[in-house]
A and B are shown apart, each in its own frame.
Chain A
Amino acid sequence: MNIAPYLLLATLEGLVQASVLMLTALGLSLVFGVMRVVNVAHGEFFMLGAVGAWICATLIPGPPAVAFVAALVLAPLFVGAIAWAADWAILKRIDYNPEATIVATIGLMYIIQQTTLWSFGPNAQAVDAPFYYTLRFPWFGYSTYKFFIIGAAVVLVGGLLYFLRHSKVGLVMRATQFDRETAQNFGISVGRVYSIVFAVGAMLAAIGGVLVVPAQQAHYLMGHDPLLLSFVVVIVGGLGSIPGTIAAAILIGMSDGLLSVFFSPTLAKIFSTLLVALVLVFKPEGLFGKAGR
């Protein structure tokens, strides 16, 4: 049996999975790294991005590409605004207490989920890809839209890293991450930084949702898997470590793609769960995290 076509297909599917996961997990990692908040509602921001793409596709006439571009801009802005409001209305009130924020974001998760069910309905909704072109390999054809997902994720993650490293806002975010009290001693409004970070984290998840919805479907429960996998990535990569999150997303995404194609999706989930268990036992700070932070 020639395994080359299977290997190529698995690699491509793994890269697509890794790309979306990288965006979603980076949002979760950023929020935890800077705010020390474990955001259980993060998957719902992903879902809202996908639903937002469906709403744009339904309301905006013309070619699918127009609605898609509009969704790429509007859905993250809408989700960012919801996250900003949630930060103001909930997280600030409980002073970002680590235990209380877990309970609060569980509540937020159900509020978003049930509101979406009530307004969007229980059915999965398909969204057209912005373009249809199939790249022909000797063994199979592959959607070029999926290559677009990979490219878009690479550009966005590169942009995020550049923003964090080279902008004043990025510097302020990193300073707050390292030492909140000292940041305040130098005039940094930690509350404002937290609001920005929570919104940016949610927007990253929403972009992941917009990108993935032409390849999957929008559904009010679709946030569960990305949330679980994002937690896996963030724990394996090291809590709050951006390079660790990127590396772990590629590792988990690729292994998920390969194992799903060659064996079964269930085995892929078992592998990622086992990896988390091993990391927690042997390197609890994560593969790229720093001990004792």
Chain B
Amino acid sequence: MSVMTVEGFNAYYGSAQALRDFSIELQAGEILCLLGRNGAGKTTALKAIMGTVRPESGRLVLNGVDLTGSRPEEIPRAGIGYVPQGRRLFSELTVWENLEIGLMTRGQGREGLDYALELFPVLKDRMKQRSGTLSGGEQTMLSMARAMCVNPTVMMLDEPTEGLMPSAIAGIRDAVTRLRDGGVAVLLVEQRVDAVLSVADRVAFMDHGEIKARFHIDEVRDNKELLHRYVGVGH
């Protein structure tokens, strides 16, 4: 069943078109990965869904509710958890206060928090610590935990493994997989192809603000030519 449908988003930065007819459909319990080079429009696509970049045209439907033209604060309340690029923690606030902001988004209780702390138990001992003083891996965990506190039906992650040690990447990958297995629809933006191939169910390649091609992960995994053509790796 489709939980999120984005149809024909067109967005601009000044006169430059950043998104061209961007359309995706996400099912519950799947991971769709947006791949593409720097500047391909992946982050803009997520921001357009969140409403912080206003698309000039297009339609957004979440859980059967048409959210087209909604104010930015209404979109997360409808059930989207977002892990922005660079984590974007409230660095002067404590770990607990960051999580509290997530809990307040929909006010649906502590279920998401309990699940997040089960996935990232290290945060339990850091509750009173200022989030800006956490390590890079812990900051990513907190950013994910904060988004999970929303109790989302759709989780969007923008390069969550950026700048992390391999051990931390494995933890994030495991958390994303468990979210999917719990029935959450995941939209993952990544530049690291290896991080995608092991978790994604479907892949969409973006270039110049446009989705150029879509594949099931099995079609991509061993197709080096395809990967080279769209993201410059594989040879």
Contacts and interface: CB of A to CB of B under 8 A. Distances in A.
Contacts of B51: 184
Contacts of B90: 174-175, 178-179, 182
Interface in A183-218: 183-190
Interface string A61-77: 00000000000000000
B104 A185 contact: no
Contacts of B92: 174, 178
Given A171-B101, A172-B104, A179-B88, A188 B73 contact: yes
A182 B90 CA distance: 8
A155 B104 CA distance: 29
A178 B93 contact: yes
A185 B93 contact: no
B133 interface: no
Interface in B2-56: 50-52
**3 shortest A-B CB distances, which residue pairs?**
A187-B105, A184-B72, A182-B88
Nearest to A178: B90
B81 to A, nearest CB: 9
A168 interface: yes
Give the interface centre of A168, A174, A185 by most chain B CB atoms within 10 Å.
Answer: A185
Assign chain B's interface to a size class: 20 to 34
A66 B73 CA distance: 44
Contact of B93 (A174, A184, A189): A174
Contact of B50 (A168, A172, A185, A188): A185
Contacts of A181: 52, 88
Interface residues of A, number: 17
A182 B91 contact: no
Nearest to A192: B73
B4 to A, nearest CB: 16
Nearest to B50: A185
B73 A187 contact: yes
B138 interface: no
A186 B52 contact: no
Contacts of A186: 76, 101-102, 104-105, 146, 150
Nearest to A182: B88
B202 to A, nearest CB: 24
Contacts of B84: 182, 185
Interface in B67-115: 71-74, 76-77, 82, 84, 88, 90-93, 97, 100-102, 104-106
A175 B52 contact: no
Contacts of A168: 100, 104
A171 B94 CA distance: 11
A187 B76 contact: yes
Given A171-B97, A178-B92, A182-B90, 8 more contacts: A171-B101, A172-B104, A181-B88, A185-B84, A186-B101, A186-B104, A187-B150, A188-B101
21 contacts: A171-B97, A171-B100, A171-B101, A172-B101, A174-B90, A174-B93, A175-B101, A182-B90, A184-B50, A184-B52, A184-B73, A185-B52, A185-B82, A186-B76, A186-B101, A186-B104, A186-B105, A187-B73, A187-B105, A187-B106, A188-B104
